[in-house]
A and B are shown apart, each in its own frame.
Chain A
Amino acid sequence: MPYLQISHVSKSFGTFEALKDVSLEIEEGKFVCFLGPSGCGKTTLLRAIAGLDIQTSGRILQGGRDISALPSSQRDFGIVFQSYALFPNLTIADNIGYGLRNSGKPRKEVQARVQELAELVGLTGHERKYPSQLSGGQQQRVALARAIAMAPGLLLLDEPLSALDARVRLHLRSELKSLQRRIGVTTIMVTHDQAEALAIADQLVVMNQGVIEQIGTPQEIYRNPKTAFVADFVGHMNFLRAEVVGEGTVRVGPLILAAETAGLGIGESVTLCFRPEDIQVRGIAAGNKNTIEVRIEDMEFLGTFYRADLAMNGPSSPRLMADFSMNAARDLALEPGKIIPIAMPADRLRLFGEKRG
């Protein structure tokens, strides 16, 4: 049985519907990310799970217990907020042990547990300092240690990394992941950063405008986006308007391409999507399927690769984004102004009917 079951949860603030009939199941011990743009409902869903803003309708079951209507204090979770909400007048040790001390455990036992937690998050030696004496990353660890101190069944993280600068963020997200593995607590993290979500999660829940767009592993979501929204939000994507002209064939302007058309009717208008890194430039023989000639308009150097702006043909034709490795760019002497053949492998092209996207 799944550890957390969310069924038909809706939440409205006045006339605004923040969540629309959301259902979701989460297995014990998983690291799940709620991903979506701001205002998509991901934080609302998290706060409903925590009981901070209880949903208008729908049920939430945790470990088989119906917690739908319970106040936060009667639920079983630990939480880290974006602001961390550390108590500024308490030492690090007192912050971490805040819940333990109030639970009436013996002093010795509390101290030992605080020590253990400080060690777990790598803050040994800082116990007697105050939050304002620590860096942002260290404060984040204190908040994390405090959240797991009472050994909750569920760990909720509300954009825990977004207040940090880029380098610290990269470092902390891998630490967060390994910590979660070690203690095995079921974890939900809310984020708007797709790279972070892809890197850290066992399962992604992509949300938009109060509904779940897709649920799956990071690989599934990246390779097989179910909707144009997911395709656009996770990673980069080229979008072209196309029409299905036959079984396995679409037309983009004057161009005929091979693509998987299962489930789509002939004559239907569709959106054709493919990722910039799926465009091939090496080993293209004339007459290959899905090969076209393009002109390189511009190349942007992004450190480990080039992102090129390609014009298909004619000044008003659609532009394409393509990622070329440093090797390919050097070997083929790619530069703006050059006309080159490219291939778009049929198995990497995705079609979305108009009604879905």
Chain B
Amino acid sequence: MADTFAFDATPPRARTPERIRPIVSREDWLLRTGLGVLALYLALTIAIPLFMLLKKSVEDADGNFIGFTNFAQYFADPALSLSFQHSFLISILGTLITLTLAFWYAYAVTRTCIPARGLFRAIALVPLLAPSLLPGLALVYLFGNQGIFKGVLLGQSIYGPIGIVIGEVFFAFPHAVLIITTALAMADQRLYEAADALRAGAVRTFFTVTLPGCRYGVMSAGFVVFTLIFTDFGVPKVIGGSYEVLATDIYQQVIGQFNFQMGAVIGLLLLIPAVVSFFADRITQRRQQSMVSARAVPLEPKPRPLVDRLSLAFCLVISVFLLGVMAMAAFGSLIKFWPYNLTLTLAHYDFGKLGTDGWNPFWTSIKLSVLTALFGTAIVFTGAYLVEKIRGFGMARSGVHFLAMLPLATPGLVLGLSYIFFFNSPANPLNFLYATLALLVVNTITHFYTVCHLTAVTALKQLDAEFEAVSASLKVPVWRTFLQVTVPVCLPAILDIAVYYFVNAMTTVSAVIFIYTGSTKLMAINALNTDDAGNSAAACAMGMTIVLLCAAVRGLHALAGGTFLARYQAWRRHGA
């Protein structure tokens, strides 16, 4: 054939064609092995421990299967089931208050023309720097038996539901503000222009445009806040008094009475709202995404004197409350002997003179936070890379992705308890990890895995999908491109993850309370114990030390964003 092309040069074949079996390159094997290792790691650190918890809840003390007897026993005990009602009541009340306040606050900082909106946003996040027991301590100083504003409570005691609700609102507020702010920030100016053109009034526009536009965000915030309050341990422990909730119950059953089976039952009850909100949140988020199109015109708020003034007053009140609680804790830590000797002193910060632990918990906390930030970030980012970049292998990848989502639905107390069951079992070859700092690191990495994983996945999805294909065509091994391109380009997300891990490792109490030992006592736990022993000033000092360390790390991070990235990542300045 003279033609350079030969279409139909070969006769069509009759039999079924032979399937091509792609040859797997060495680097593909490496990636797949990596994914397998990650799957095994997640199975050992989240899936199997949770399974052990489930198993424990249907066994008696000797390990025999007894069905739902434990559950029946739990609900038959009036004292125990009362704390379930308490938890429920506190969570509903706390969620309603938090949502109302957070919605107005978020609305004020996104949709009104009040001054210093950036500052107000920052103030709303201040509680994130503190362990949840700190607002409890501050509330005792403010409204306790010897509190400054004791009279405000009209004879009611702060020790109990009132204190718990106020403390939880403080603790959950930034989470709700973050979510609702994001939902309110995604608004389309054109919808408001259309409402205006159709002569809808301000109130009508609010109920027909603003609220529907962010309702999924508000729902999502509601689920998150409910779960946070339902499973929080620090606030009720410090200020709950004799008002028992599930979180304090589980602690007493396990640590006080060594009743592991009942602990497992309460653990499962704690898991319920978390699991429900996890799935509800998945559904609402999916809807939210489709609400605003890519071509939306960002909303520019217009001055409205009345709304603006009211909003400013509201933000000021809330800010005073948030900063006031922090300031009270700081003040409490600097006072010689409340309320009798108000001279200022730094003596409570001299942890060396305090009990037998001295400075050990301080250094243990720093070690834990640094190790968690280092290893957690490395594991999460590499893991997210494997899940995102391996071609084919769909089942394995979605399996790993599911395992990575599990920690979000697992409250810290439940995770900690499952770790006892799994790692403390003499039959487990990993038993040697028990009572080591390494296990605390592993536990903390797992506890906060999901948010970090999603941050990494989001960053990786923004990269061009063909970097790996280009590298392969240029014969550059995949790990070189990972180190030379993927990691530098994702550096801001990587730093975010590291800081998130550091701060949470510093402030967390719930997961580690079950698995620390004398040699691995953390500062937040030490603060809790110190308060239990009646030294609330020293407890405040420990809490404030955590706040200062977290603030310092956040400050460094902000600075790094400004100078380091500008100097060493010049390409970012030019935008894409």
Contacts and interface: CB of A to CB of B under 8 A. Distances in A.
A140 interface: no
B472 A73 contact: yes
A102 B27 CA distance: 15
A10 B17 CA distance: 9
A10 B18 CA distance: 10
Contacts of B66: none
A55 interface: yes
B483 to A, nearest CB: 11
A133 B576 CA distance: 8
Contact of A27 (B4, B467, B471, B570): B4
Contact of A146 (B19, B474, B485, B574): B474
B22 interface: yes
Given A8-B17, A26-B5, A83-B464, A102 B23 contact: no
B302 interface: no
A73 B470 CA distance: 10
A54 B391 CA distance: 11
A73 B20 contact: no
B472 A71 contact: yes
B12 to A, nearest CB: 7
Contact of A8 (B13, B24, B571): B13
Interface residues of A, number: 57
Contact of B474 (A54, A90, A149): A149
B469 interface: yes
B10 interface: yes
B10 A73 contact: no
A78 interface: yes
A180 to B, nearest CB: 16
A148 to B, nearest CB: 11
A88 B467 CA distance: 11
Contact of B575 (A68, A74, A99, A132): A132
A78 B20 CA distance: 23
Nearest to A212: B7
Given A69-B20, A102-B476, A130 B571 contact: yes
A278 B576 CA distance: 48
Nearest to A59: B20
A73 B8 contact: no
Contact of B20 (A57, A89, A203): A57
Contacts of A88: 489, 571, 576
B28 interface: yes
B569 A89 contact: yes
A60 B6 CA distance: 15
B480 interface: yes
Contact of B5 (A68, A99, A203): A203
Nearest to A68: B20
Contacts of B62: none
B21 interface: yes
Contacts of B12: 8, 21
B303 interface: no
B9 A23 contact: yes
Contacts of A203: 4-5
B242 interface: no
Interface in A312-330: none
Interface string A129-153: 0111100000000000011011010
Contact of B476 (A30, A58, A84, A99): A99
Contact of B25 (A24, A58, A73, A147): A73
Contacts of A147: 473
Contact of A24 (B5, B21, B484): B5
Interface in A207-254: 212, 214-216
B475 interface: yes
A23 B474 contact: no
A306 interface: no
B77 interface: no
Interface string B479-499: 010001100110000000000
Contacts of B471: 98
A23 B8 contact: yes
A68 to B, nearest CB: 5
A70 B464 CA distance: 24
11 contacts: A10-B17, A51-B22, A56-B19, A58-B20, A72-B472, A79-B469, A85-B470, A87-B485, A132-B575, A203-B4, A215-B7
Given A51-B22, A71-B25, A130-B570, 5 more contacts: A7-B10, A25-B9, A56-B20, A99-B475, A132-B576
Interface of B: 4-10, 12-13, 17-25, 27-28, 464-467, 469-477, 480, 484-485, 488-489, 569-571, 574-576
